[in-house]
Chains A and B, each alone.
Chain A
Amino acid sequence: MSKERLLSVSGLKKYFEISQGMFKPKIVVKAVDDVSFDIYKGETFALVGESGCGKSTTGRTILKLTEPTAGEVLFKEQNIAKLSYETMRKLRSQMQMVFQDPYASLNPKKTIQQILMEPLNVHKKFEPHERLNKIIDILKVVGLSEAHLHRYPHEFSGGQRQRIGIARAVILNPDFIVADEPVSALDVSVQSQVINLMLEIQKKLQLTYLFISHDLSVIQHMTDRVAVMYLGRIVEIANTEELFASPKHPYTQALLSAVPISHPKEKRERIVLEGDVPSPANPPSGCTFHPRCRFASDICKQIAPSAVAFSDTHMATCHLYNLEGEKK
């Protein structure tokens, strides 16, 4: 596979400050803490983790929907982390987003035509008289029709709304789409329809996805590479097949083992994690996973592990392995 880098994130940090009143020190929540990865053209890169791990914030910070605290985001080798609203605005026709909640992400007072016309007007795409036909075309691509143009979002089911959300994201013909849990609010039978749609338009429009999800079976099915996040940091990155076949980080191992079985006769050894995810406002010292880790030793409590490469495509941050990727 020829690899052309589309997006490169390095040292990305997003801290939220919560004021505690005038005389108390502010609480700093490190939602995203020093995250780096590259995304190559045409691939689907997944961010997986449990709620509060910072995967959504990472996605939104890359699109500058929230301002990064530190770090670089190179899109087509241009650093967009410091761009002004106006310059970034013009770039947005190339990078779009699909949201999790198909109910909240569509303006309830706008018809479908108005919703889909807006990106075209904003970026002055196509001649004005062509725009309506473009909208009808894109509606057909996502499995809706001209008849839906004048309807309001509430007249649609969840699955149909997500199709509209996808239509809005792809109508400008972008290169890159951040999909934040695009199917997790949908029912099983609708979920598979939307996944198919996303795979189909990816092929058709040569899209690159950043796919954010907590659903491992969906990730296993449709992504090329996966980054596992825990408490604002990436603990493991690998090719999808590699990750599911041989997870290296104890957290990844536990996460994969916790997925419900797909057949009652299936037997699976389950690694049960004790306790809950600690608060990102007050993360544990050293390796942030150590209080829940089966293999934790003294060094884990003191020193944050650095990345260990197991192959060109597989890396994890854990003290269990030496720098050559062998178990100590």
Chain B
Amino acid sequence: MTNLLEVNNLNICFRNGKSITQPIRNVNFTVRSGEILGIVGESGCGKSVTSLAVMGLLPPKSSEITKGEIIFNEQHIEKMSEKQLQNIRGNEVSMIFQEPMTSLNPVFTIGQQLMEPLKQHKSLTKVQRKERIIEVLKQVGIPRAEQIIDEYPHQLSGGMRQRVMISLALLCEPKLLIADEPTTALDVTIQAQILELLKRIIAETNMSMMLITHDLGVIAEMCHRVVVMYAGSVVEEASVEELFDNPLHPYTKGLLKSLPSQNERKSALYSIAGQVPRPNELGQGCAFANRCEFATERCLTAAPPVFSVAQHKAKCWLLDETVGGVFSE
């Protein structure tokens, strides 16, 4: 399989007045064509910032890619001008956001909003555009697609709006779909419908997907490979079975163990002590060291490199003895 997206050693800085924070530190991952890559982490771990960087949507004044590269389909996203980015966004890479309630403009009809990317990226006649829109709306399982295009967002339910958002992302047949918490705002039964739909579309179209979520259940359900992020860096990367069967990083282990379904009913859940450090509290060592039950002197003073076992990579000093062999960056 070829790599559709490569993120190499990405570093992003945010400037807020005089203070500079670095929410993204040395992030590496790849998305292969046709696969679903899950990015999992808690709020503030940098998963959304990373996805915005891939879309070239970082706020230009307050943020900066200080190091590293984002290579999509052999093009360097981080070097592109706004105009080049516009040609890629919504066309070759598109994005689904968390909030289906606010991601659609309330004053335009569904049809008008879906028309926009087609006008921008494809040279189609008006009739062809309408046909394409109806085709995509049917593909995402919207009943009465012909009528829906003349309706306004407020006339649709949350689940329907998220379907419309997905159809908006699919219109130009992108190569990469970035879904940022696509089902977090939805109810479980609707979530099941949407996940089912996304899975079907990926299987049918040979598209790749970057699925960003905090929900390990959604990861288990959907992904082929998983990247675990913590406090702005990738701590573990593995295939989904490998990650759930044999997590290497203490953070991943803790997350999996703290799921209520992994604990005996009514017992105290396993929990990771403490809380995620703020970006300005990070020191020299491993970002997880202050919460880690296995932390040693070395963890506090030096940031661990990536250790790998076959396709399974993790950033943790514990693997030094057990696994051996430093993965070169």
A/B touching: CB–CB < 8 A: yes
| Interface residue ranges, A against B (CB under 8 Å) | 50-51, 157-160, 187-193, 195-196, 199-200, 214, 216-218, 220-222, 240-241, 254-255, 257-266, 270, 272-273, 276-277
Given contacts A188-B214, A217-B260, 5 further A-B contacts (CB under 8 A): A188-B258, A214-B188, A255-B189, A260-B195, A264-B221
Is the Cβ of A222 less than 8 Å from the Cβ of B266?
A: yes
CA distance A69 to B116 in the complex (A): 48
A199 touching B259 in the complex, CB below 8 Å, given contacts A216-B188, A260-B215, A261-B221:
no
Is the Cβ of A187 less than 8 Å from the Cβ of B265?
A: no
Interface size range of chain B in the complex = 35 or more
Is the Cβ of A160 less than 8 Å from the Cβ of B275?
A: yes
Report the minimum CB–CB distance from B303 to chain A (whole Å): 21
CA distance A130 to B214 in the complex (A): 43
Is the Cβ of B261 less than 8 Å from the Cβ of A262?
A: yes
Is the Cβ of B217 less than 8 Å from the Cβ of A262?
A: yes
Is the Cβ of B260 less than 8 Å from the Cβ of A196?
A: no
Is the Cβ of A200 less than 8 Å from the Cβ of B218?
A: no
Is the Cβ of A220 less than 8 Å from the Cβ of B275?
A: no
Is the Cβ of A276 less than 8 Å from the Cβ of B217?
A: no
Please give me the residue from chain A that is nearest to B40 by CB atom: A188
Which residues on B sit within 8 Å (CB–CB) of A265? Answer: 241, 244
Is the Cβ of B265 less than 8 Å from the Cβ of A255?
A: no
Is the Cβ of A261 less than 8 Å from the Cβ of B220?
A: yes
SS class, residues of chain B in contact with chain A = helix
Is the Cβ of B240 less than 8 Å from the Cβ of A264?
A: yes
CA distance A272 to B36 in the complex (A): 22
Interface: B192 (CB within 8 A) = yes
17 contacts between A and B (CB under 8 A): A159-B275, A187-B43, A188-B42, A188-B258, A189-B258, A189-B271, A217-B217, A217-B260, A255-B189, A258-B189, A260-B191, A260-B215, A262-B217, A265-B244, A272-B189, A272-B193, A276-B159
| Interface residue ranges, B against A (CB under 8 Å) | 42-43, 157-160, 187-193, 195-196, 214-218, 220-221, 223, 240-241, 244, 254-255, 258-263, 265-266, 268-273, 275-276
Is the Cβ of A189 less than 8 Å from the Cβ of B187?
A: no
CA distance A277 to B158 in the complex (A): 10
Which residues on A sit within 8 Å (CB–CB) of B218? Answer: 260
Which residues on A sit within 8 Å (CB–CB) of B193? Answer: 272-273
CA distance A256 to B214 in the complex (A): 20
Which residues on A sit within 8 Å (CB–CB) of B241? Answer: 264-265
A262 touching B258 in the complex, CB below 8 Å, given contacts A200-B268, A221-B269:
no
CA distance A284 to B185 in the complex (A): 25
Report the minimum CB–CB distance from B93 to chain A (whole Å): 26
CA distance A257 to B195 in the complex (A): 13
Report the minimum CB–CB distance from A103 to chain B (whole Å): 12
A189 touching B272 in the complex, CB below 8 Å, given contacts A199-B266, A262-B259, A273-B189:
yes
Which residues on B sit within 8 Å (CB–CB) of A254? Answer: 189
Is the Cβ of B187 less than 8 Å from the Cβ of A266?
A: no
Please give me the residue from chain B that is nearest to A189 by CB atom: B272
